[in-house]
Amino acid sequence: MKKHIYVMLVLALALISCNNSSQPVQVDKTKQNDYLTMSTLWYQRASECRALYYQAFNFAKLSLVANLSEADSDKPKAVVVDIDETVLDNSPFEAYSVRTGKPYSKELWHEWTGKAAAKATPGSLEFLKFAESKGVETFYISNRSVSETAVTLENLKALGFPFADEAHILLKTDTSVKTVRRNKVSETHEILILAGDNIGDFDELFEDRSKQFGFETVDNHKTDFGKRFIVLPNPMYGSWERVAFKGKRNLTPEQKNEMRKETLFGYKELAN
């Protein structure tokens, strides 16, 4: 008899566990940004990341000199740089997100940028000072909101960035696409170099990643990278991440994680 009761108990427990497995997985909210741990760790602590920034800005200097010699207009010369993860390092914000599990919000972001405490990315200040020594102005085109202008200039000025003034900063008003703002700079200046961690920082044609992640567009412009376009590493976030979500919005953190995994390809798929 005792044996029967035991078997029934085991079966009942198995049934309960089966039912539970069909329920959505409840994720501990404090861990929902855990997916950012490795990328943020790499960004903050890998010497390779630091070296890549130096490599990019060293190359930018060489290309600036070459592009200056090939410049063909009477317009004053300029370099255009993005701000976040290009000249300013916001990884402490990402690290805070990992540790607290708090989802991204404008309020939280503004709390961070309001401190005007971001550090310069490696080599960025030297590059822009070098450009200034060659008579080249810097324009900062960023998708920070215009409401963040004062704190952003305060941050850039405190670090000694050249041209950190109202005339040289174009933040986001209505669209994150930067074409109109780039064109505005082009009206008065010849742009010799564009630097950014998102390829949308260079040209609108890179915004469309609907076909093959946008790889073909990059391949078609491969000679521009290092020459006119200087790319900085940012594995923490970016437009690139959205290719995994296939245009879907309002996904839960769990759904996003699943879709990220589905977008990977493994060696077994390679064999097919």
CB of 196 to Mg ion, least distance (A): 6
Nearer to Mg ion by C-beta: 64 or 81? 81
Which residues contribute to the site for Mg ion (CB under 5 A)? 82, 84-85, 197
In this complex, which beta carbon is closest to Mg ion, that of residue 101 or of residue 238? 238
- Kindly state the smallest distance separating residue 87's Cβ from Mg ion, in Å: 9
Q: How far is the CB of 232 from Mg ion (least distance, A)?
A: 8
Question: Rounded to whole angstroms, how far apart are CA atoms 66 and 121?
Answer: 24
Nearer residue to Mg ion within complex by CB, 32 or 144: 144
What is the closest distance, in whole angstroms, from the C-beta atom of residue 149 to Mg ion in the complex?
16
In degrees, rounded to 5, the angle at the alpha carbon of residue 193 between the alpha carbons of residues 62 and 134 is 60
Q: How far is the CB of 91 from Mg ion (least distance, A)?
A: 12
Q: Give the nearest distance from C-beta 216 to Mg ion in angstroms.
A: 23
Nearer to Mg ion, 137 or 197 (CB): 197
Residue number, 32 or 196, with CB nearest to Mg ion: 196
- For the bound state, the minimum distance from the C-beta of residue 152 to Mg ion, rounded and expressed in Å, comes to 12
> How many angstroms separate the CA atoms of 246 and 249, rounded?
9
DSSP the chain: -HHHHHHHHHHHHHHHHHHHHTSPPPPPGGGTTGGGHHHHHHHHH-HHHHHHHHHHHHHHHHHHHHHHHH--SSSPEEEEE--BTTTEE-HHHHHHHHHH-PPP-HHHHHHHHTTT-PEEPTTHHHHHHHHHHTT-EEEEEEEEEGGGHHHHHHHHHHHT-TT-SGGGEEEESS-S--HHHHHHHHHHSEEEEEEESSGGGT-GGGS--TTGGGHHHHHHTGGGBTTTEEE----S--GGGGGGGTT--S--HHHHHHHHHHHS--HHHHH-
- Report in angstroms how near the CB of residue 215 gets to Mg ion at its nearest: 20
Among the listed residues 77, 145, 84, the one whose alpha carbon sits nearest the alpha carbon of residue 120 = 84
Nearest residue to the partner Mg ion, using Cβ: 84
Q: Which is nearer to Mg ion, 82 or 137 (CB)?
A: 82
C-beta closer to Mg ion: residue 32 or 113: 113
Output 32 or 88, the one with its CB closest to Mg ion.
88
Least Cα distance to 205 among 167, 178, 245 occurs for 178
